[in-house]
Amino acid sequence: LLLCMKYTILNDLHIGTLRASGTSPQSAKALRQYATDCLAKMLKDIDNDLIILGDLFDGFQVPLSDALVTLKHFTSWLNKGHKLYLVPGNHDLSNDSSKLSTFEFVSSVLAENPNVKYHRGGGWLCESDSIYCISHLLHHLVLLGGEGTDLTNKLCEPRLLGEFGVVIEEMG
C-alpha cells in the first residue's frame, strides 16, 4: 500500500486464494474471508483515487462469491466519486485468450462506471498527472513520472515496492 497525495496504489491482494496445503477447509475459507475483509477496510480508509497494480485476484478464476464481494466493495467505494485504475498482474489473466478471467469479468463490470479505467497492457493511466504504466505482464516494471515532473512535491518520494518492481522516479 502506497499513499500519495492524489493516489493510493495497491498490489498483490490475491483475493480468492485457494490453499490446500497446510490448511483445513475452515482455515482456507477464513483466509479468503480475511482477504475480502481487508479490501473492505482499506477501501473505507481510502479517500482519493486508487490504482490496482496487479494480482487483485489469486488466480485466473477464483470463487464467484469472492468476485461478487469484491465487485460490491468497489462499487460502494466508487459511489464516493473516486477514480479507479485497474492494471492486471500475472495472476489475473489466462494464457488462453478464449477464457474470461475473474479480473477481466470484474473489471468489465466496473468499467461501466466512467470513473473506472481498465489497462490490460499498460499505457497512460492519467496523462495529466504523468502516470505511465508498463504492465507487469510485459516488463515487470511500472514507472510513474514524466519529463519535468517533480515527484517529491507532486506525488511522493521515490521508493521501491514489493515483487512487482514498482519504481517511482523522476523521468528526464
Q: What is the pLDDT of residues 29-73, one digit of tens each?
A: 899 999 999 999 999 999 999 999 888 999 889 999 999 999 999
Query: How far is it, in rounded angstroms, from Cα 36 to Cα 168?
Result: 28
Query: What is the greatest pairwise CA distance in the chain?
Result: 54
Which grid coordinates belong to 95? Answer: 494464457
Question: In this predicted model, what pLDDT tens digit does every residue of 110-146 receive, in sequence order?
Answer: 999 999 988 876 667 766 666 777 665 543 333 344 3
**Threshold 0.85, pTM exceeds:** no
Beta bridge partners of 158: none
Pairing mode, strands 116-118 and 122-126: unpaired
Beta bridge partners of 28: none
